[in-house]
Amino acid sequence: MNNPAFRDAALLILRVALGVVFIAHGWDKVFHVGAEETAQQWASMHIPQPTLSVWVVAVVEMLGGALLVLGFLTPAAAGVLALDMVAAFYFVHLGSGLFVAEGGSELVIVLFAACLVLIVFGAGRASLDKALSRFG
């Protein structure tokens, strides 16, 4: 279907779902599992500067997710979140297979691909990006 209304609805659904997932994962790292426990887990995986990394990733995921939900600075937020998923793939999931139940990469691959869609197509008309744009 090449209907702009359907395209915009699909982008809105994608943005909100993706944003909520990122917010939840950032929140989990700091407030559910806890930053200290997450940093200990990350240290055992040889993630550089684990305490700093936890806070940077959590803020990126929560702030980036919120920006996606709002449709504000969408391509930039999606780009940073895509890089977050590349790092997660490399440091955590590489060599663990595909399935998430086995520590695999399926979730980070899907999240990366969804971010890529938003980088390429933008937020759509139901967004702050569109509302604040000076152009059509």
Residue 120 lies in a domain: yes
Give a yes or no: residue 136 inside a domain: no
**pLDDT interval class at 136 (50, 70, 90):** low
Are 11 and 123 spatial neighbours (Cβ–Cβ below 8 Å)? Answer: yes
Task: Please give the C-alpha separations between residue 34 and each of 15, 31, 102, 119, in angstroms, as whole numbers.
Answer: 26, 5, 22, 31
CB of 71 closer than 8 Å to CB of 126: yes
- Domain housing 31: 4-131
70 within a domain of the structure (yes/no)? yes
Q: How many distinct structural domains can be found in the chain?
A: 1
Q: How many whole angstroms separate alpha carbon 64 and alpha carbon 42?
A: 21
Cα 106 versus chain centre, distance: 14
Banded model confidence at residue 135, pLDDT cuts 50, 70, 90: low
CA distance 54 to 57: 5
Q: How many residues does the chain have?
A: 136
Mean pLDDT of the chain: 95
- What whole-number distance in Å separates Cα of residue 33 and Cα of residue 39? 10
Predicted TM-score of the model (pTM): 0.93
Q: What is the pLDDT of residues 14-69, one digit of tens each?
A: 999 999 999 999 999 999 999 999 999 999 999 999 999 999 999 999 999 999 99
- Residue 72 maps to a domain: yes
What pLDDT score was predicted for residue 9? Answer: 96
